[in-house]
Amino acid sequence: MSDIEHLVRAIDPAPHAPDQGPGARELRAAIMASTSGPPHRTARRRLPWRAGAIGLVAAAAATAVFLDQAATAPSPAPPAATGDTSLSGTSILLAAAAKAEAAPEGSYWHLKELNVGSSRPYGKDGDTYQLEISNLSEQWVGADGGHWIGRRQLAARPRDVAAWRRDGSPAEWEMGPDGGVYSTSPGEGTLTRLKGDQKLYWSARAMTLEQIAELPADPEALKKRAAEAIRSDEDFAGSVEHGLPHTLASLLYALPASPQVRGAAYEALATLPTVRVEGRTTDPRGREGVAVTFPIQEGRPTQGRLVIDPDTSKVLASEVTGMPQKDDRVTVVLESGWTDTEPSPPSTE
Amino acid sequence: MTYRDRFEAVYDAYYPAIHQYAARRAQSPDDTADVISETFLTAWRRIGDVPEGEEALLWLYGVARRVLANQQRGASRRAVLAERLRTELAADRPVRPVDLDHVRTAFDALPERDREVLALACWEGLTSERIAKVVGCTAIAARTRLHRARKRLAAALERQASLTIAMEEA
């Protein structure tokens, strides 16, 4: 070996092969529990297109039932706000802050999200269509330390049905060079229990339930803590100011913050100059709310967009728009709160 | 052997090598965990395509290489699968000997193509035939690239040395 190769070897950033720690073993289990594994793929491959098309209808019906349930689930909504008041942006956020409901009780912190995105174009040259790709993702953190994740790939749907028919109405589409298929039938729901202590991420900072419970309920103090969390993310590219809206917003629905802290997060958002209240809108499920937008990265068109129900202060949806060369990412928040219901694989029924 | 047995065998055999490959190239422990999880998730999806024996490692290197090239920054990363692994990796940061900073500087200044083949040769210990399989070129092309990269690094180190002497004399 030449001197040069010895020198390069000497600067090896990871000279020692790591052992499989608990994290590595857990990853193995989580991957094998994931929906996109080979057994499903082979099974779906054998489906004639007709069966797939029936699956498409069945899945649509199941999704409708599922969304119906989500819509009619008992909600602790206080009486609706009076009339169509033209609140200024800041006061809408402050009104939401004031609506912080009483701390709900339960054995598990539970977050259930529906992620919706788009595939690359399929079809023939000049006659292409994209698929709507969606999955359910759930997370439970037990007050006594357990941590579960649930996932389920939902049926893919062509966004342009006419173009899909012209393409021969396929029921499956290759994902890309790394394999896998999108299918018109939903995948199976999986539930994985993660071992070890539960950690939730606030920006790049791993937090325990206790640490989240101890966050300050004062907007300025909370902003300071958010800035610290952002600085702990070594590869966050922008300025701390640009990380603040996104980081504060995550306290509104993605983490088990107390009602007081959620209120403080709304108040803190109202003080940020880059946060804009865009007015009334509906979320992807047709639920009415108010759109709030903010830039995510300095000098980039990428924007975060929340749809908030000002009556309950709940976040209905969280979107990322304007990503270069990528379609918008939409997350519908189906459930975010404490529950006594035991973790179970996501179902579409 | 079922798909599951095969995947477990591949994972257990090559986890350390892929972990190391990712740790050497990723910008942060978080990214390392994401590269590991994406690479093996791909292996799980395509377990039927993973070649037998040692060739499996080269195949995995090839996947990890593509994952690194495509890694998205920002809000969408941190797949929930690798959460626990990330916490673990965040705890152990690599220690870098200071006296080799000049080598690191010269290495980092090389074009990406040069760094890639040098790293595969010196860190992963691959021959040019095997490098060719990972990066998807002919063995002759890999050998040529490696030879040129070695020469460019040697030249850069020489320039640095003469610069240091010049500064000391001044």
Rounded to whole angstroms, the Cα distance separating A201 from B78 reads: 10
B111 plus B63 within the same structural domain: no
Q: Does B99 touch chain A (CB under 8 A)?
A: no
Burial of A349 (0-12, 13-18, 19+ CB in 10 A): exposed
A2: in domain: no
With an 8 Å Cβ cutoff, are B27 and A235 in contact?
Answer: yes
A292: in domain: yes
pLDDT (0 to 100) of residue A31: 82
Gap from A227 CA to chain B (nearest CA, Å): 16
Predicted TM-score (pTM) of this structure:
0.53
Residues of B in contact with A302 (CB under 8 A): 74
Q: What is the mean pLDDT of residues A142-148?
A: 82
Predicted confidence (pLDDT) per residue in B11-36, tens digit: 999 999 999 999 999 887 878 888 89
Alpha carbon of A157 to those of A47, A116, A122, A149, A169: distances in Å?
17, 11, 12, 25, 11
Gap from B44 CA to chain A (nearest CA, Å): 6
* Token digits of residue A325: 């060369």
Query: What is the DSSP secondary structure assignment for residue A311, as one 8-state letter?
Result: T
B110 plus B123 within the same structural domain: yes
What is the three-class DSSP state of A22?
helix
With an 8 Å Cβ cutoff, are A329 and B150 in contact?
Answer: no
A5: in domain: no
Q: Does B49 touch chain A (CB under 8 A)?
A: yes
Enclosing H/E stretch for A179: none
Alpha carbon of B15 to those of A127, A194, B43, B116: distances in Å?
43, 19, 12, 20
B25 plus B71 within the same structural domain: yes
Alpha carbon of A153 to those of A117, A207, A317: distances in Å?
12, 28, 19
What is the three-class DSSP state of B150?
helix
B114 plus B86 within the same structural domain: no
Residues of B in contact with A32 (CB under 8 A): 4, 7-8, 44
Domain boundary among B33, B64, B94: B94
Q: What is the mean pLDDT of residues A24-43?
A: 64
B89 plus B109 within the same structural domain: no
B9 plus B82 within the same structural domain: yes
Q: How many independent structural domains does chain B possess?
A: 2
Q: Does B76 touch chain A (CB under 8 A)?
A: yes
User: Which residue, among A104, A93, A135, has the nearest Cα to A334 in the 3D structure?
Assistant: A135
With an 8 Å Cβ cutoff, are A11 and B107 in contact?
Answer: yes
Q: Which residue blocks in B26-100 are alpha helix, DSSP H?
A: 29-45, 55-70, 83-91
Domain boundary among B72, B94, B116: B94
Per the rule left: phi > 0, alpha: psi between -120 and 50, beta: everything else, B53 is left
Domain containing residue A323 = 20-339
Residue A141 contacts residue A198 (beta carbons within 8 Å): yes
B85 plus B110 within the same structural domain: no
ipTM value for the complex = 0.83
Q: How many independent structural domains does chain A possess?
A: 1
Using pLDDT thresholds of 50, 70 and 90, give the confidence band for residue A149: confident
Partnered with residue A289 across adjacent β-strands are: A281
Burial of B111 (0-12, 13-18, 19+ CB in 10 A): exposed
With an 8 Å Cβ cutoff, are A23 and B3 in contact?
Answer: no
A323: in domain: yes
A48 versus A228: which is more confidently predicted? A228
Q: For the stretch B117-141, what's the b/e string if a residue is b when 16 or more beta carbons lie within 10 angstroms of its beta carbon? A: bbbbbbbbebebebbbbbbebeeee
Which B positions 129-168 lie with beta carbon below 8 A of chain A?
A: 150, 153-154, 157
Domain containing residue B68 = 1-94
Residue A46, CB-side half-sphere exposure with 13 Å CA sphere: 5
Enclosing H/E stretch for A185: none
Q: What is the mean pLDDT of residues A304-325?
A: 85
Predicted confidence (pLDDT) per residue in B141-161, tens digit: 999 999 999 999 999 888 877
CATH code, domain carrying B59 = 1.10.1740.10
B13 plus B82 within the same structural domain: yes
Gap from B7 CA to chain A (nearest CA, Å): 8
Burial of B2 (0-12, 13-18, 19+ CB in 10 A): exposed
Partnered with residue B79 across adjacent β-strands are: none
Domain boundary among B94, B125, B158: B94
Rounded to whole angstroms, the Cα distance separating A72 from A40 reads: 32
Rounded to whole angstroms, the Cα distance separating A179 from B44 reads: 10
pLDDT (0 to 100) of residue A75: 33
Residues constituting chain B: 170
